């Protein structure tokens, strides 16, 4: 086959032979351009991961262009352009609904001031500090939770994992912000003492220690500042101990305010000092367990 005949087949899109030759040439050119474009994009960065994704993107984009050209060559859309465009639009809308929801959530975050970088939030079942907000996802440095087995850390400290959450979650799930305006949190620490124990002394020890660690002054100032923006009622921030009688023991619960990012440290310190105070006062912490002492009966032998 001479070059003139090959050219005639290449420009001939009326016969099957001409379309096959044109399709083969388009595929070859697409492969070459895809590799060349990927190589040129990869040279623009020293990051191996960025180079990998640049090459992937170049090949995918070239493949889409090749498919469209082949569809035109084989007249796949002839007489059905409206139907094809309608199906393509419907499919694109269905495939992009998560993306559209995420972008709408991004505008919701920015316009509603739901949270910002640096805030401690809980969204989509994930709790942590916001480190980045993009149009599609919010990245959170995860912290643990004492009420969940899904995290390797059982306290409000970093787990080391960065979690990406779709911004669409701002429409479908509650978003808890621990530090947007009021950077304090109410904590409770509960101790149980046996009935008949010196519970007034236990209450005094617990109250004194809670007053020592409580950040009441800072919390009160934060509430006054928040009241300038929101019609919030006055909240009780002074530490207080509540007593509850049960069938097994008397429960003493200390309620106090601490900065949100120091809650676990403060609670640990308070627990240790209260236990030391109870021990010095001869007060035992009660529980629902029982101590059983077994004594074997003596035997007499002749």
184-219 per-residue burial string, b: 16 or more CB within 10 A, e: under 16: bbebebebbbeeebebeebbebbbebbeebbbbeeb
257 and 277: one domain?
yes
Burial of 257 (0-12, 13-18, 19+ CB in 10 A): buried
3-class SS of residue 73: helix
Q: Which domain holds residue 262?
A: 184-281
88 and 125: one domain?
no
Query: Within a 13 Å sphere around the CA of 142, how many CA atoms are in the beta-carbon half?
Result: 18
In this structure, is residue 296 part of a structural domain? no
List the end-to-end C-alpha distance of the chain, in Å, as a whole number.
123
208 and 140: one domain?
no
> Could you tell me the CATH number of the domain that includes residue 259?
3.30.70.100
87 and 109: one domain?
no
201 and 166: one domain?
no
Contact indicator for 1, 10 with CB cutoff of 8 Å: no
In this structure, is residue 77 part of a structural domain? yes
In this structure, is residue 302 part of a structural domain? no
In this structure, is residue 204 part of a structural domain? yes
71 and 109: one domain?
no
Alpha carbons 60 and 21: distance in angstroms, whole number = 23
Domain C-terminal end among 60, 95, 130: 95
Contact indicator for 141, 148 with CB cutoff of 8 Å: no
153 and 220: one domain?
no
51 and 130: one domain?
no
In the prediction, which pLDDT does 5 show? 57
> Could you tell me the CATH number of the domain that includes residue 161?
2.30.30.60
142 and 88: one domain?
no
- Dihedral sign, CA of 99, 104, 105, 106? positive
Domain C-terminal end among 76, 95, 114: 95
15 and 78: one domain?
yes
Residue ranges of the chain whose pLDDT lies below 50: 1, 300-302
| Short-list 233, 224, 239, CA closest to 270 | 239
In this structure, is residue 255 part of a structural domain? yes
In this structure, is residue 56 part of a structural domain? yes
Query: Which pair of tokens denotes residue 101?
Result: 């929801």
In the prediction, which pLDDT does 302 show? 47
In this structure, is residue 290 part of a structural domain? no
In this structure, is residue 289 part of a structural domain? no
In the prediction, which pLDDT does 243 show? 93
Query: Which pair of tokens denotes residue 10?
Result: 């290449």
* Backbone phi, psi, residue 121, to 5°: -130, 170
Element (H, E) at 277: helix 263-281
In the prediction, which pLDDT does 74 show? 67
- Give me the number of domains the chain comprises: 3
Count Cβ atoms below 10 Å from residue 141 Cβ, excluding itself: 16
190 and 228: one domain?
yes
188 and 262: one domain?
yes
Burial of 111 (0-12, 13-18, 19+ CB in 10 A): exposed
């Amino acid at each position: 086959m001479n070059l003139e005949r090959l050219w005639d087949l290449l420009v001939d899109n009326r016969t099957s032979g001409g379309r096959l030759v044109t399709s083969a040439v388009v595929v070859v050119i697409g492969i070459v351009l895809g590799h060349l474009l990927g190589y040129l994009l990869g040279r623009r960065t020293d990051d191996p991961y960025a180079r990998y994704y640049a090459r992937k993107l170049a090949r995918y984009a070239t493949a889409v262009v090749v498919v469209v050209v082949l569809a035109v060559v084989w007249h796949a859309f002839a007489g059905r352009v409206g139907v094809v465009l309608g199906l393509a639009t419907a499919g694109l809308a269905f495939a992009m609904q998560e993306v559209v929801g995420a972008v709408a959530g991004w505008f919701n975050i920015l316009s509603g001031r739901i949270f910002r970088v640096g805030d401690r939030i809980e969204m989509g079942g994930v709790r942590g500090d916001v480190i980045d907000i993009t149009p599609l996802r919010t990245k959170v440095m995860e912290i643990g939770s004492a009420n969940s087995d899904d995290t390797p850390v059982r306290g409000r400290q970093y787990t080391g994992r960065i979690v990406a959450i779709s911004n669409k979650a701002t429409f479908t799930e509650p978003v808890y912000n621990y530090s947007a305006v009021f950077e304090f949190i109410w904590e409770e620490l509960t101790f149980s003492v046996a009935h008949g124990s010196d519970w007034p002394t236990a209450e005094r020890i617990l109250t004194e220690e809670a007053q020592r660690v409580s950040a009441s002054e800072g919390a009160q100032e934060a509430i006054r500042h928040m009241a300038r923006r929101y019609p919030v009622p006055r909240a009780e921030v002074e530490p207080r101990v509540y007593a509850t009688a049960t069938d097994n023991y008397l429960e003493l619960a200390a309620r106090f305010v601490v900065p949100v990012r120091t809650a676990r440290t403060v609670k640990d310190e308070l627990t240790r000092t209260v236990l030391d105070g109870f021990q010095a006062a001869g007060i035992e912490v009660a529980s629902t367990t029982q101590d059983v002492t077994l004594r074997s009966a003596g035997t007499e032998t002749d």
